[in-house]
Every structure is written in C-alpha cells, then in structure tokens.
Chain A
C-alpha cells in the first residue's frame, strides 16, 4: 500500500490525509474518510500539498556566507560557526524566532536550546501576541489554555455565532462542519464587517462597523441581563466574578450601540435571546495574527459563560488558529515568559522542575520577542518560516549575525550568515496540535535527501557543540520528556497516537462538571470606543486575507495550482487591490481595476480599486498580501498593526 496516513500541514484544522508515496517521493494526496475532524474532506490547499513537497525550492545543503555569498558547507562547519557567533554576544542580545509550523518536538527543543543552552528568553513567534490573547483569557478563566469546545461536537451545537472570521477561506473544513450542521437544523449567525461566504450561508448576518465587535457582544450580554436570560443556576454553581462583570454592563446605552455598530438593534436582541434559549451554543472567532484584542475576546468569553454555554456538550468558546501548529507552539513555551503547557517562567515550582530535568539554572526574567528588541538584537536565529514579508527587516540588517534553519528557501536567507537545512514534515516524525488541542502524529513517510538532518537532530547538534549533552534518539523520546514536564501533555506519547490522536488536558472539551475550580469571568472595561472616520479620512480601511493568499504564504508560492489561483488575482490586480463599495466607486468616478490612491495620516499607496458589494460604503478592505503594499504602507502603521489585523485605519481614497 503506497498511501501513508498523515496530517495536513497547512492550517489549524488538522485534517487527516493519505500521502501517495512511491520511490521515496510524494506523488499525490487523498483525504482520510475516518478522520474525526475532516471526515474525508480537504480544501484547495490540502489537495495540493504534494506539489509543495515536490518543490525544487528546498534548501539542499548547509551554507555559510563568505565574502557576501552563501557557499556550501558541512553541518559541522555551519553549526560550529553558529555556536561560535552566538557565544560571542551576551544572552540578552540573542533573539530566536520560532515557527507555528514546526512540530511540537522541534519547538520544544528550540525552546530548550534558547533557554538552557544560550540562556536567553528572547524567543517568540512572529504572530505574537495574536493567539496568546485568547489563551490568556481562557486560561485565566478556566485553567485551560486552548479551545474550550470540540470540533467533533459542532453537529451537536444548536446555535453558532461566527464572529469576524472568514472561516470557509481560513479554515475551510471547519467552515464546512458549521455549514453541514446548519443544513441539519443548527442556527448559524455571522457578525462581520464584510459579507463573507459563511455570512451568505448563515441564518442571519449582521454587517457591523469596523472595531464595534466589543460593544455588540457587550450589548448581547446586557440583553441577557435585562431580560433575565442569564443561566443563573450555571453561574451560581460553576462560575465566579459575575457581579463585577454585570457592573461594567450597567453603563452601556442602547443609543450608543446603535450608533457605533450600525446594525439593527432588534436583530442583535433576537440574537442574544436565541443564544440564551438554545440548548447548546458555540462561538468561532479568528485567533492568531488576525485575531481580536483582549477586551473583545474577554467579552465573548463572558457572554458565553453568562449564557451557560461553556463546559457542556455542543458548547464552547472556540478561537480558531490559522496555522497548523500555532496552538502547539504556544503549548511548547514559544513565548518570552512561558515554559511548556502554559507554565509561567515566574512560577518557581515549574522552573525547578525544568532546572532538575535539564541540569541547569534557568534565567527566570521574561525575555522579549525578537521583533521588539530593536537595536538590542545582535544575533538572530529564525526557524522554518513561511512568510515572504519580514517584519523587523531593518533590525535584522543591522545585526552582527543571522541564521536561518528550515526546509524551504525563504527571504531570511538573503540576510543569513548561516543556513541550516532540515527535513520536511513528511521526512521525519512529529506531532502537531490543532486548534481544538488535538495532538496528532505525522509519521515519517519518505527518507530525507542524502545528508539532510531532521530539525531535532540539528538542534541536538547545536546543543552538543555548545557544550550540552542531549541524548534524544528520536522525536518520540522528545515527547516523553515533554509529557513528563507538562501536565496538559502527560497523556501524550507517540506509541499511543492513532488516527485522530488525543487532546491535551485529557479532555475532549472543557467540562464544567469535572473542572477543579469555578470558571471566572474575565475582567473587562467599559471603554467602547470605536475607530472613527473624520472629514479628512472618511473611510475605515480593514485588512485581512484573500482567497488563495494566506498568511503571506511562501509555501503557497511553491505549489502549482494554488499558485495559479493566486496569480489569477495578481494578474487582475498587479499592485493588489482595495475593495470598495459600488456607491463609493460612483462617488470617486472609478470602475473595477481603476488606479486609486489610499492616503492615511502615516503615508499613502497606490493600488487598484475592486468594486464589490461585500463592503459597506464607508469601509474599504485590503487583502494583506502584496509585498510592496505591506512593506511600504502597512509597516509604517506599526502601532496600529500591533493590535492585530482586525484593526482599522482611517483613510481617504482618491482617484489617480
């Protein structure tokens, strides 16, 4: 049998697939019918994963920069050079940029390498804080750092709210599950600033003003309060901190809600009642780079807690991760202040455990994300990155030393002094944790090319050269150590992971009955300010994903069919596009593909207009994908972008 079972490597859904392996090559892919999440479905990305695995754009040998050029070297030479350079700078000048694509084992070892060998806590993902906000809120509230519901239970949710996520594009198979549940009678409601596909498939849709999610959700909570629809028994038995939450709601005025959200208040009220009166309910929102701010996430969580729709069958607050192992990377302590399983560096008992296991004394001072180190960054190591846009490119250019470790060629190589190739995910064992905390094992299916090491072997080699003794024989050994040190992963071991794997915390979903502590309402404030358009900048610009372009995806560009689809967009709109409403187009006297200029207080850019009724007249939408557009325009809006891509920029659009 030439089909080998595995896990799709693109998004956080974690679909099951079978790879067609012949003569040590991946020749095709097929969906896995008995997989608990995907049940025989894949999206356009998943159906073309073999094209990526066959790309000639792999890194084929270790490289060292000599006289400005990268030249071939051996692993020994390259690793020695890397260690020598990192030892030259002080630990707080080193930054590690990990990847939400790497397996749990690889992320764990990188985390160990940074903290225990190079003595620095400057390690993070590029998309920090993104998903971290959700994890913080949910962990603080329930003790569970991850999705509270279960994808398998979508069919058992009577009511579903999809908030600010284009889910059939970002995580198509989760979108499919929601749609299938709707066909069987569940009620699905979408709140978004744009008309998305799931909006069209929903029982109802509210097109909201940008930045007004928080006030809309807060108002739904207020409706529950005013109409005595809160689940008081549940609140009493399973929660704490309810009173301080309701106190915040008291100042909320209906007129303010109408003005700021721009939606029909009666519909919003009905929505709140439907939520409260349903037997079970879930909410889905985007987590990761395009996620909500802490306040909005807290309000969503509080609303569901208040309605008693957490910790029961078919219920849950579900942050949806965009990248395959974003959840796992956070679980592996890829953050300046975390150890594995959301154990904090500030927790001395947890640190002692790691000190003992690793035979070191860890620095417990939280580090910084390399993206935020600025000129302090002198040596920089990036692992397995897939974006074409490097955020802190100016800082990186100024550093003394840059290393890139990964399977595929990437923009970081232009600045790297050392490049270390590693095996692709089909060439080694590794586990990945999907958006619902499901840990799944993708087994090695093909041999790596001659002389290419797996990531865990490369990290072990680096550790060894730096004077540490690591004795892992396989990724399974690494997972044994992770399970030992991480309560939420204690049940995970490679030999027990079959189709569908297991979930962390040993729980399919958060269970209010079994929880050791009561779930706490998240602290929230009553600041419901929304971004305002002015006379000078009358349009609110939104940023997000587009159909086949996804997370500035360097990987998509290495395929054929998805690349063609992306190019189809780019051929129409070579400089990218700004989506404006037909009304706005008429006002500006432009038609589709006419050049326009977007002017903000920070700068301006020229692009083409895309005329669509998917956006409201006073908003515009830009797909975050064209290099120039992002580097020349959005990077100037650093403070704005830090709040996530859901943030909006007031702009003026003029005809060119």
Chain B
C-alpha cells in the first residue's frame, strides 16, 4: 500500500494518459451534472464530485456503437465485411465501487464461459481501473445492502481512499503496483490501514441515516423474489407506474441487454449497430412468430426485478444483479426505482 498527497493525486491520471484514454468523473459546467466521460484535460477530473449521473458502463458498452461495416463491390460482386472495433486502451479513473461491481457483472455476461463478446472484449482488455472509496454515501445509495461498497474489494488496479490530506493507494494487480512504483509513491504503514478501516466504518454507519426502512430489506426481498411468493397485485401496482421509457436499464451499471440493427447507409454500404435495449419495452420480448411471453407491462417489470434480485441470477453473476447505486430511482418517471420496489414488496410481506 502506498500514499499520495491530495494535491498530487491527479498525477496518477496524468501518468495513465501517456498510455491510455482516460475516463473519469467530470462536472458538466452548464448543467452542473457529474458525468463519467473521456477527458483530454486531466485537470477536469473531480474525485470529490457526486456519483456520476451516467455510469462508466458506456466506456465498455456504448449506447450506440458501430460494430461492423459492410461494403458491396457491385462490379466484382464482392462483399467486404469489416469488424469495426474501438481497440484503444482505456483507463477508468475515480470509479466508485458500485460501478466497478457493475463492470464485474458485465464481465460475467460478456466474457462468460460459453460465449465471449469480441466487441466488449476489445473495450475491456488492457483496461486500467482506479477506484475511489466513498467516504460519505450519497443520498440514494445502498451499496452496503448489495455487497458492493463503500470501498472496492476486487477487480481494481489501484484503489484510492481519502484520508484527509492524502490518499491511501492500494494496488490490486501487478499493473497497479508497477504504476505506483513508477510514480515513486511512498509506502504506507499500519496506521494508514487502520485509518482506512475507520473511514469505511464511518461511511457504513452513515447509511443508517439515509437507508430508511426499504434498503435493509433487500436480502429478504431477494428471498421472496426467488421463491415467487409475491402477490401478483404487487407487480400490477408496480407495472401500473411504468411509463416504459427504458431509463432504469440505461443507467444501470449491470444491465447488459442490447439490440442489433443494420441500417443501410448508402447504395452499397451498411453498418451493423449495437444499441442499448431495455426489458421495459414491449418489443424486447416479442418473438419472431408474434408471441410475446411478457406482453403486459407488469410482467416485464417483474422480469427486471427478477434479474436484479433473485438467486438464479446471482448464480450467473456470483452476486446480486443490483449494485446499490440508486440511479434507477433518480431517472424513473414512475416511482419504481429498485429501492422503492423493495419497499412495496416489504409492505406486502409485512401484511
């Protein structure tokens, strides 16, 4: 473990920029909104900014991405199909632990045992990840209930923890260690380790004040969702509030569903595009013959929460699909962000 002065912490990002495209939290000045984006000017990075509105997943899995191009040569009757991958090396700097957990969930889906997604792999390989411990939880957060924070446990190259005037820098990989050594960071001692655990305890305790009744019930609700012991009326109550915008999936750090379209771009050319998709849309689950096993909106909604909060899904990710960031609560035009859904199910259980 190492230490770096607060005033120098961005040196890590500067060093990374020599080799990587650096992504990190930046405040958009006009709208005053934190976004996790690619930065050219390292000084724009803000480790104290609130949890980014947009999770870093778009760096690995963009909203709208060309993954292939076709070109038809009419004269020679030849087709050229080119994979069109962005293979630049990327570094994610200042990632919150919930978002790292989201990346790990995506890894299990896209890089799973049976099938490897080359497009995702190209974004993900050679990636450098620097996480940032949350000393204070943000008001919509509940990572302590989903085992994804407030400090990263695995999957990072470097993990930063704010200890006042300096950051504790933990190396989680050889790559991370090499970078810390290269920057000549001084070593930390046991007192710093203790200071970090105090910071984390304090942060976890702070959840008591913000994690009102709903959040602590997540494990009970996981049990209920798995066993299917939830009254249909609860799903109807939830489904009635769904405006079918898709926002919950789009902002979810662990949602991986996508759609493939092949727009024709010219008389002899076409693209293959991959776009984010959402289980809240009716067309999402419609099958080729027209049959739709999840036509009513409440069936589609229950599917989402099944995906985030059931044992069978946990087997896939080796953890719950929900990472506790609370973004779905932010963007939902209904009132059915995940924490609220937990509340509705809890009410039903308590009845």
B-contacting residues of A (Cβ < 8 Å)? 1-3, 5, 16, 18, 20, 27-35, 40-44, 46-47, 50-51, 54-56, 168, 172-173, 175-176, 179-180, 183, 197, 200-201, 498-499, 547, 560-561, 564-565, 567-568, 571-572
A residues near B275, Cβ cutoff 8 Å: 51, 560-561
10 inter-chain pairs at a CB distance below 8 angstroms, sorted by A residue, are A1-B28, A2-B38, A28-B58, A30-B53, A34-B33, A43-B333, A179-B334, A179-B335, A499-B30, A561-B281
Complex Cα–Cα for A171 and B288 (A): 31
Among candidates B28, B277, B332, residue contacting A18 with C-beta atoms closer than 8 Å: B28
Binds A, one of B8-16, B73-81, B106-114, B263-271: B263-271
Judging by beta carbons under 8 Å apart, are B64 and A28 in contact? Answer: yes
Min Cβ gap A80→B in Å is 30
Judging by beta carbons under 8 Å apart, are B240 and A29 in contact? Answer: no
Complex Cα–Cα for A40 and B32 (A): 12
Judging by beta carbons under 8 Å apart, are A16 and B240 in contact? Answer: no
Judging by beta carbons under 8 Å apart, are A565 and B53 in contact? Answer: no
A residues near B44, Cβ cutoff 8 Å: 1
Judging by beta carbons under 8 Å apart, are A30 and B54 in contact? Answer: yes
Check if B250 is an interface residue, CB within 8 A of chain A. yes
Min Cβ gap B294→A in Å is 12
Complex Cα–Cα for A183 and B292 (A): 32
Min Cβ gap B235→A in Å is 14
Judging by beta carbons under 8 Å apart, are B53 and A571 in contact? Answer: no
User: Which B38-78 residues have C-beta < 8 A from chain A?
Assistant: 38-39, 44, 53-54, 58, 62-65
Among candidates A18, A27, A571, residue contacting B64 with C-beta atoms closer than 8 Å: A27
Judging by beta carbons under 8 Å apart, are A28 and B63 in contact? Answer: yes
B residues near A499, Cβ cutoff 8 Å: 30-31
Check if B122 is an interface residue, CB within 8 A of chain A. no
B residues near A55, Cβ cutoff 8 Å: 263
Binds A, one of B198-206, B209-217, B225-233, B241-249: B241-249
Judging by beta carbons under 8 Å apart, are A564 and B64 in contact? Answer: no
A residues near B178, Cβ cutoff 8 Å: none
A-contacting residues of B (Cβ < 8 Å)? 26, 28-33, 35, 37-39, 44, 53-54, 58, 62-65, 240-241, 243-247, 250, 259, 261, 263-266, 273, 275, 277, 281-283, 286, 290, 292, 330-335
B residues near A560, Cβ cutoff 8 Å: 259, 261, 263, 273, 275
B residues near A183, Cβ cutoff 8 Å: 335
Judging by beta carbons under 8 Å apart, are B240 and A498 in contact? Answer: no
User: Which residue of A16, A30, A201 has the most chain B CB atoms within 10 A of its CB atom?
Assistant: A30
Given A18-B31, A27-B62, A28-B58, residue A43 in contact with residue B263 (CB < 8 A): no
Judging by beta carbons under 8 Å apart, are A172 and B290 in contact? Answer: no
Given A564-B283, A565-B281, residue A3 in contact with residue B290 (CB < 8 A): no
Complex Cα–Cα for A200 and B53 (A): 31
Min Cβ gap A70→B in Å is 16
Given A3-B35, A498-B30, residue A175 in contact with residue B63 (CB < 8 A): no
A residues near B32, Cβ cutoff 8 Å: 34
Given A3-B35, A42-B247, A560-B273, 4 additional A-B pairs, CB 8 A: A35-B31, A43-B243, A44-B244, A499-B30
Complex Cα–Cα for A16 and B225 (A): 36
Complex Cα–Cα for A160 and B281 (A): 29
Judging by beta carbons under 8 Å apart, are B241 and A201 in contact? Answer: yes
Judging by beta carbons under 8 Å apart, are A51 and B64 in contact? Answer: yes
Contact count A vs B, C-beta below 8 Å? 131
B residues near A175, Cβ cutoff 8 Å: 243, 333
Among candidates A3, A32, A42, A572, residue contacting B37 with C-beta atoms closer than 8 Å: A3
Judging by beta carbons under 8 Å apart, are A34 and B31 in contact? Answer: yes
Min Cβ gap A362→B in Å is 40
Min Cβ gap B35→A in Å is 5
Judging by beta carbons under 8 Å apart, are A561 and B245 in contact? Answer: no
Judging by beta carbons under 8 Å apart, are A47 and B246 in contact? Answer: yes
A residues near B263, Cβ cutoff 8 Å: 55-56, 560
Judging by beta carbons under 8 Å apart, are A33 and B330 in contact? Answer: yes
Among candidates A2, A16, A33, A41, residue contacting B332 with C-beta atoms closer than 8 Å: A41
- Which residue of A has the minimal Cβ distance to B335? A183
Given A5-B31, A28-B64, A47-B245, residue A568 in contact with residue B282 (CB < 8 A): yes
Complex Cα–Cα for A547 and B333 (A): 16
Given A34-B31, A50-B64, A51-B64, residue A44 in contact with residue B330 (CB < 8 A): no
Judging by beta carbons under 8 Å apart, are A41 and B333 in contact? Answer: yes
A residues near B247, Cβ cutoff 8 Å: 31, 41-42, 47
Judging by beta carbons under 8 Å apart, are B243 and A168 in contact? Answer: yes
B residues near A33, Cβ cutoff 8 Å: 31, 33, 53, 330
Min Cβ gap B335→A in Å is 5
Complex Cα–Cα for A493 and B241 (A): 39
Min Cβ gap B243→A in Å is 5
Given A34-B31, A41-B247, A197-B240, residue A20 in contact with residue B63 (CB < 8 A): yes
User: Which residue of A20, A55, A173 has the most chain B CB atoms within 10 A of its CB atom?
Assistant: A20
A residues near B37, Cβ cutoff 8 Å: 1-3
B residues near A173, Cβ cutoff 8 Å: 333
Among candidates B29, B38, B64, B290, residue contacting A572 with C-beta atoms closer than 8 Å: B290
Given A51-B275, A54-B64, residue A565 in contact with residue B282 (CB < 8 A): yes
Given A30-B35, A34-B31, A571-B290, residue A50 in contact with residue B63 (CB < 8 A): yes
Among candidates A1, A5, A47, A179, residue contacting B241 with C-beta atoms closer than 8 Å: A179
B residues near A498, Cβ cutoff 8 Å: 30
User: Which residue of A44, A50, A547, A567 has the most chain B CB atoms within 10 A of its CB atom?
Assistant: A44
B residues near A1, Cβ cutoff 8 Å: 26, 28-29, 35, 37, 39, 44
A residues near B58, Cβ cutoff 8 Å: 28
Complex Cα–Cα for A180 and B332 (A): 10
User: Which residue of A32, A33, A172 has the most chain B CB atoms within 10 A of its CB atom?
Assistant: A33
Judging by beta carbons under 8 Å apart, are B283 and A567 in contact? Answer: yes
A residues near B243, Cβ cutoff 8 Å: 43, 168, 172, 175-176, 197
Complex Cα–Cα for A236 and B281 (A): 52
Complex Cα–Cα for A196 and B63 (A): 31
A residues near B64, Cβ cutoff 8 Å: 27-28, 50-51, 54
- Which residue of A has the minimal Cβ distance to B34? A33
Min Cβ gap B76→A in Å is 24
Complex Cα–Cα for A31 and B31 (A): 10
- Which residue of B has the minimal Cβ distance to A571? B290
A residues near B286, Cβ cutoff 8 Å: 568, 571
A residues near B246, Cβ cutoff 8 Å: 44, 47, 561
Complex Cα–Cα for A499 and B333 (A): 20
User: Which residue of B26, B44, B263, B292 has the most chain A CB atoms within 10 A of its CB atom?
Assistant: B263
B residues near A561, Cβ cutoff 8 Å: 246, 259, 275, 277, 281, 283
